[in-house]
Amino acid sequence: MQSIAVYCGSATPADPAYISCAQHVGTALATAGIRVIYGGGRLGLMGALADAALAAGGEVIGIIPEALVGAEVAHHGCTRLEVVAGMHERKRRFTDLCDGFITLPGGVGTMDELWEAISWAQLGYHQKPVGLLNIGGFYDDLVRFYGHMASVGFVRPAHQNIMVVRENIEDLLTAMRDYQPHATIFAMKAEDL
């Protein structure tokens, strides 16, 4: 993997572990020679991720909607900052530029990005690994819910392993490198659905 899209929050939670996590991920990706593609912000986990990757000599591509540039939250220190019209274009660029996705802790926007990456993988718009870094159990309930959706039949058996969950970045990167593409809905026949 040469490029990873990292989804994370623009907030700065009171617990410093979240910022430390983002910094560690930025450093780990840069050290591994993996380009960071992220939301282009300078605040919260986003800014911590980008700053750490840049400080470690990594390449960072920020993709930010025009409206957020105007709100003065853009990180102009990125290797490259792309300004796009809106959120749909932003997510499309993430998918076009990356070899995989990693989701760090975040809020509603981060969840939107994660679920779209999984949904697009199920359908067949991409077959890239979708990693979830479950730092400190932040995503325990989400992982249980994903399992519940699978157990009642809303996530097909062929798609149950699209979301790759680990508790540290090193294990997550290894699992993502080992990821085996799944059968996509586009490639399935009606009787398989």
Q: What is the pLDDT of residue 193?
A: 57
Locate the domains of the chain by residue range: 3-192
d(Cα 75, Cα 78) in Å, to the nearest integer?
Answer: 6
CA distances from 191 to 5, 15, 162, 185 (A): 34, 49, 21, 11
Whole-model pTM?
0.94
CATH code of the domain occupying 3-192:
3.40.50.450
Which residue stretches of the chain have pLDDT < 70?
A: 72, 188-193
Least Cα distance to 39 among 92, 90, 76, 101 occurs for 90
pLDDT of 120-168, one tens digit each?
999 999 999 999 999 999 999 999 999 999 999 999 998 999 999 999 9
